Amino acid sequence: MDVLLHDTLISKTDFMANVNTLPASRAKYLTFAPPTDGIRTVYYLTGTHYAQGELKKGKETGVWTYWHRNGQKAREGRFVNGQRDGTHTYWYENGKMRGVGGFKNDAYEGSWTMYAEDGTQQSVQTYQAGKLAK
């Protein structure tokens, strides 16, 4: 199992098991390349989830979920070819919704509703092509 922190491999079970017997001459050529396709799960150093989703050709695709360090969901949304696309939802560390809105081609699009940490609605704004609509 590979353990990744963002895009950096911090543990590889089969490598770590043999680290004491790996000759220095081989070690200087050893590199790790994170997988470019398939399900990617990233953890905080504490072992709790940081992010999980699918990669295609090294880019996020489909629904990705991110978590706060305390284990509460932080955000969730859809990606197309590495760009945010569709509805994305954000939460505070206390589990209450922080905001929800849309993206198109990685730019804010449509209605965005933001909430205070106590759950009360703060604002509703509309975006077009990443810019606040007037």
Domain boundaries, the chain: 1-34, 39-132
Q: What is the predicted pLDDT for the residue at 134?
A: 77
- Provide the 3-class DSSP secondary structure of residue 94: coil
Count Cβ atoms below 10 Å from residue 88 Cβ, excluding itself: 20
pLDDT digits (tens, 9 = 90+) for 2-38: 444 454 544 444 444 444 555 555 544 444 556 789 9
Question: Per-residue pLDDT averaged across 121-128, rounded?
Answer: 96
pTM, rounded to two decimals: 0.74
pLDDT digits (tens, 9 = 90+) for 47-98: 888 999 999 999 999 999 999 999 999 999 999 999 999 999 999 999 999 9
Options 3.40.50.300, 3.30.200.20, 3.40.50.2300, 3.90.930.1; CATH for 39-132 is 3.90.930.1
Q: What is the predicted pLDDT for the residue at 100?
A: 98
**Which pair of tokens denotes residue 20?**
């004491």
Q: Rounded distance, CA 60 to CA 54, Å? A: 6
Cα distances (angstroms) measured from residue 111 to each of 50, 68, 83, 107, 114:
27, 25, 18, 12, 10
For 53, the enclosing helix (H) or strand (E) is strand 49-56
